[in-house]
C-alpha cells in the first residue's frame, strides 16, 4: 500500500482512465513525496497536462452519476 489509502476509499477516487501515475522511489524503494501529487495522493503524480488530467478525473466522477 504505497499511498496508505484504505481499500474502502479506493472505489471513491476519481482516477483518470489511461493516465499514467508516476512514483519516484528512494534508494530503499520508499516513495518520495511529490509536490505535484493530487489529493488524496501524497507520493504519486499523474503524467501529462494538469488541466487534461483534471478533466479526465471529472469525467470518471460523472460516469457514476445517476439522473
Per-residue pLDDT of 30-62, as tens digits, reads 999 999 998 889 999 999 999 999 999 999 888
pTM: 0.75
CA distance 42 to 37: 5
- Structural domain boundaries of the chain? 1-8+21-67
CA distance 52 to 54: 5
Per-residue pLDDT of 9-31, as tens digits, reads 888 888 888 899 999 999 999 99
**Are the C-beta atoms of 47 and 19 separated by less than 8 Å?**
yes
Amino acid at each position: 500500500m504505497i499511498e496508505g489509502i484504505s481499500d474502502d476509499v479506493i472505489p471513491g477516487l476519481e482516477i483518470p482512465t489511461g493516465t499514467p501515475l508516476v512514483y519516484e522511489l528512494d534508494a530503499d524503494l520508499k516513495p518520495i513525496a511529490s509536490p505535484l501529487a493530487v489529493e488524496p495522493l501524497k507520493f504519486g503524480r499523474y503524467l501529462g497536462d494538469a488541466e487534461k488530467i483534471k478533466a479526465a478525473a471529472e469525467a470518471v466522477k460523472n460516469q457514476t452519476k445517476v439522473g
